[in-house]
Structure 1
Amino acid sequence: MTDETLVIRAQLGEREALAELLARWQVPVWTYVRRMLDADRADDVSQEIWLAVVRGLPRLREPGRFTPWLFTIARRSITERLRAEYAEKTPVAGDSTAEDPAEATVDRATLVSALSALPVLEREVLVLFYLEDLPVDECAYICQVPAGTVKSRLNRARRLLREHLDEKGYRP
């Protein structure tokens, strides 16, 4: 069953459809959030995201655009959390573990360190494009920027990631 069908059924009040939709997207959303924040904050922000999804799902006008809508909510939640923390000027210790498929290429700690060293905007598009496998146009929609901006951020993110890995002594 497609996400679009599940969304429509959930909008019509079918709790099973909503539960299936949440089960299907829980891990990808948490993984995205985890790649942007540490584990403790990822759990809290993920709960906030799902609360916003449940509240907003009845107003979703294009059920076929569920994925970019969902990741837009996730992005906003992450941004709000970071903005609140920066406003408080409270340093947050990062967790150096993440569940990702890149372990075969670069060890996990090196990859997480390299990702966390990237500026938030570049890290965000890199995670959406490469780790969440979203196309450029959906990344642009989620980030609310033109596709060309996504491409330039991806280019910069790749360059910065390569430089960081070179500094750490990683050679492909």
Structure 2
Amino acid sequence: MADELLVLRCRLGEREALAELVRAWHAPVWTYVRGMLDAARADDVAQEVWLAVLRGLPRLKEPARFAPWLFTIARRAVADHLREEYRRAETAATPELGEQAPGEQADVVDVVEALVERAELLAALSGLPVTEREILVLFYLEDLSIEDCAEVCAIPSGTVKSRLNRARRLLREQLAEKGYSR
């Protein structure tokens, strides 16, 4: 209900309402984008998402469905970015290696164990196929329901469940290869 009210206030031209929406949803959007891309690209894509939100907010048909709409925009922005990246890689004379940013551990003295585990999880996530990674990020990191994931990805709920199952298995296998056990 709060998001719906903020959307309606934004449509009425209240700048503070837009600022509140951004404050409430910037971290979840960035987390989703970061789960799909490396940190260097996540900032740019997250900004693109907010520009698209600003442009599209007047056309949002169901203000109560703001979260799935927002993540649909984020998903499209990530897909567009990946598509452009793949297109550039295909047209380049030689494939560019090492485009992924190195681990984010440099110059960090007091690394909290939880942050290390999260970084390792993100590294494992980056090794998953995009469709499975996307479902894991939406479902677990963004706490979207199966139905909302289906809406964001424009696929049936059953497909979300099967991708989620496959993603869990692949992630478990990757983590087991790295010596993590349950």
Q: Compute the TM-score of the two structures, normalised by the length of structure 1.
A: 0.92
Q: Is the 8 A contact 1:118 1:157 kept in 2?
A: yes
* Residues 80-159 of structure 1: pairs in structure 2 closer than 5 A: 80-89=80-89, 90-91=96-97, 92-97=99-104, 104=114, 107-159=117-169
Q: What are the ranges of 5 or more consecutive residues in structure 2 without an aligned counterpart?
A: 90-95, 106-112
Instruction: Return closer, same or farther for 1:81/1:109 CA change in 2, 3 Å cut-off.
Output: same
Q: Does 1:14 align with 2:33?
A: no
SS of 1:96's partner is coil
CA 1:49/1:78 → structure 2, altered by over 3 Å: closer, same or farther? Answer: same
Instruction: Check conservation: 1:39, 1:95, Cα contact below 8 A.
Output: no
Instruction: Give the conservation status (yes or no) of the 8 Å contact 1:37–1:94.
Output: no
Native 8 Å contact 1:118 1:161 kept in 2? yes
> Deviation digits for residues 18-70 of structure 1, max 9, x if unmatched?
11111111111111111111111001001100000000000101000000000
Amino-acid identity (%): 66
User: How far apart are the structure 2 equivalents of 1:11 and 1:87?
Assistant: 37
Shift in Å at residue 110 of structure 1? 2.4
Read off the aligned partner of 2:8 and give its amino acid letter.
I
Q: How many residues are paired up?
A: 168
Structure number, greater radius of gyration: 2
Counterpart CA distance in 2 for 1:140 and 1:105 is: 30
| Distance of 2:130 and 2:175 partners within structure 1 | 17
Equivalent residue, structure 2, for 1:162: 172
Runs of at least 5 residues in structure 1 that lack an aligned partner in the other structure: none
Mapped contact 2:40–2:101 kept (Cα < 8 A):
no
Aligned runs of 1:24-35 on 2, under 5 Å?
Answer: 24-35=24-35
User: Partners in 2 of 1:81 and 1:105 — Cα distance?
Assistant: 27
Do structure 1's residue 50 and structure 2's residue 57 form an aligned pair?
no
- Tell me if the contact between 1:97 and 1:108 (Cα under 8 Å) persists in the aligned partners: no
Indicate how the Cα distance of structure 1 residues 97 and 147 shifts in structure 2: closer, same or farther if over 3 A, else same: farther
User: 2:181 — aligned with what?
Assistant: 171
Aligned mates of 1:128, 1:97 — CA distance in 2: 22
Deviation at 1:105, TM superposition (A): 10
Once the two structures are TM-superposed, the CA of residue 75 in structure 1 deviates from its matched residue by: 0.2
Matches within 5 A, 1:49-68: 49-68=49-68
Q: After the TM superposition, which parts of structure 1 deviate over 4 Å for at least 4 consecutive aligned residues?
A: 103-106
Q: Partners of 1:106 and 1:153 in 2: how far apart?
A: 26
What code does the residue aligned with 2:50 have? Answer: W
